[in-house]
Amino acid sequence: MIGRLNHVGVATPSIEASVALYRDMLGATKIGTPFDMPAQGVRVCFVDLPNSQIELIEPLGDASPIHGFLAKNPKGGQHHVCFEVEEILAARDELRAKGATILGTGEPRIGAHGTPILFIHPKDMGGVLIELMESPKGEGH
């Protein structure tokens, strides 16, 4: 089921401050323009790497799912890892059959790459919040 590592999600109280870190400390040159995803409750900015992406996420709105994480980690930190899968509904059903908790309604939502995404509760994955993302068509692993 598991495919390519698509991105590592990094929660931050300030995308602007995090962009400065990745640019000035690590020398990142391919940094996108931040954009809002109200349905996901986050503001997003991608840092492109040769083999993957860092997804900087800042809370957006009172119901943002990352408020709790930032309350525990006020300076931010590594929040989730995202793996591509070929068929998101098949992956969800297989995971559920294995006892995993799919977060939210369990129905995929459209993520920042324009394809359906789901999250697996960290309690079922050794303390790591896992995002599954359907591979963009034609880019299957």
Ligand X SMILES: CC[C@@H](C(=O)O)C(=O)SCCNC(=O)CCNC(=O)[C@H](O)C(C)(C)COP(=O)(O)OP(=O)(O)OC[C@H]1O[C@@H](n2cnc3c(N)ncnc32)[C@H](O)[C@@H]1OP(=O)(O)O
The residues of the shown chain that bind ligand X, judged by CB under 6 A, are 9, 37, 40, 42, 44, 55, 57, 65-66, 68-69, 79-80, 82, 103, 111-112, 117, 119, 122, 127, 129, 131
CB of 46 to ligand X, least distance (A): 9
What is the spatial distance between Cα 41 and Cα 65, in angstroms, rounded to a whole number? Answer: 7
Q: How many CB atoms sit inside 10 A of residue 86's CB?
A: 13
Residue 65 interaction partner, one of ligand X, Co ion, none, beta carbon < 5-8 Å per kind: ligand X
Cα distance between residue 112 and residue 115, in whole Å: 8
Binding partner of 91, given ligand X, Co ion, none, CB within 5-8 angstroms per partner class? none
Complex with ligand X: residue 36 or 86, whichever CB lies closer: 36
Q: Are 134 and 87 in contact (CB under 8 A)?
A: yes
Provide the annotated active-site residues: 131
Sheet holding 109-110, edge to edge: 35-37, 42-48, 53-59, 5-11, 77-85, 130-134, 116-120, 109-110
Q: Residues interacting with Co ion, by CB under 5 A?
A: 9, 55, 82, 131
Q: Which one, 35 or 140, has the nearer CB to ligand X?
A: 35
Residue closer to ligand X by CB (options 24, 69) is 69
Nearer to ligand X, 104 or 140 (CB): 104
46 touches, from ligand X, Co ion, none (C-beta below 5 to 8 Å by class): none
Q: CA-CA distances (angstroms) from residue 1 to 54, 82, 87, 118, 121?
A: 22, 13, 9, 14, 17
Look up tokens 């890892």; give the residue: 81
